[in-house]
A and B are shown apart, each in its own frame.
Chain A
Amino acid sequence: GAVVSQHPSRVICKSGTSVKIECRSLDFQATTMFWYRQFPKQSLMLMATSNEGSKATYEQGVEKDKFLINHASLTLSTLTVTSAHPEDSSFYICSASSPIGGRFYNEQFFGPGTRLTVL
């Protein structure tokens, strides 16, 4: 399978600061990347779908001004949590998939996740 990296793996920040999380597909071109949020012992909640070169599509209830997503290249998407608050503390996971006809079409490869703690 393909490899997706995420950085940082863990971040602790003060309330009101912004945090940027990077998601990279290391060995394939990911035209689509997904950002999820996972609370302890719960499922993955899709936050947004990011297509390279276009604006992200946010799920209902996810504030686009709060969670800024940029997908500037075929191997990199970033999620910025702006003015973070304690309720934003969670496990954020990205995944990547490749285009139609690609080797990994429809299969999602997940990054290792980022544990965000807002004090």
Chain B
Amino acid sequence: GQQVMQIPQYQHVQEGEDFTTYCNSSTTLSNIQWYKQRPGGHPVFLIQLVKSGEVKKQKRLTFQFGEAKKNSSLHITATQTTDVGTYFCAGMQKTSYDKVIFGPGTSLSVIP
């Protein structure tokens, strides 16, 4: 079945440093979504990428979707303490019911 992998599992950065998490799928995806979950909270949708090679930006966050639509990355520039949380990628493979499979997540800690 479809597998979605994510690295690194944990990342500790000094405030102001950049951060990147990478997501890889075993199969070609119809789209990929990114979510953020704060400690004790529930996942919150950040963005969806659909097109091959697509790049989207949200302020300090840059999202990329690979040309083969099997990998993606999330880059945060100049991290802040508010960026703390776990970032999940979720790959959608076209099935009869459009389910998404979540990666294991990358837990980001920001040291002030």
Residues of A within 8 A of B (CB): 1, 32, 34, 36, 41-46, 49, 51, 57, 60, 93, 95, 97, 106-113
Known: A43-B103, A43-B105. A107 touches B45 (CB 8 A): yes
Q: Nearest Cβ distance between residue A103 and chain B, in whole angstroms?
A: 13
Q: Is the interface of B mostly helix, strand, loop or mixed?
A: strand
When distances are taken between beta carbons in the complex, the residues of chain A under 8 Å from B35 are 110
Interface string of B96-112 (1 = CB under 8 A from A): 11111111110100000
Interface string of B35-55 (1 = CB under 8 A from A): 100000111110010000000
Cα distance A107–B45 in the bound complex, in angstroms: 7
Known: A93-B43, A107-B45, A110-B43. A57 touches B102 (CB 8 A): no
Residues of B within 8 A of A (CB): 1, 31, 33, 35, 41-45, 48, 88, 90, 92, 96-105, 107
Across chains A and B, the number of contacting residue pairs, with CB separation under 8 Å, is 54
When distances are taken between beta carbons in the complex, the residues of chain B under 8 Å from A42 are 104-105
Whether A111 lies near B42 (C-beta < 8 A) is yes
Residue from B31, B96, B102 with most neighbouring chain A CB atoms (10 Å) = B102
Q: Nearest Cβ distance between residue B12 and chain A, in whole angstroms?
A: 15
Cα distance A103–B41 in the bound complex, in angstroms: 24
Q: List 16 A-B contacts (CB under 8 A).
A: A1-B45, A32-B97, A32-B98, A34-B99, A43-B103, A43-B104, A43-B105, A44-B43, A46-B102, A49-B99, A51-B97, A97-B98, A106-B98, A108-B100, A110-B43, A110-B45
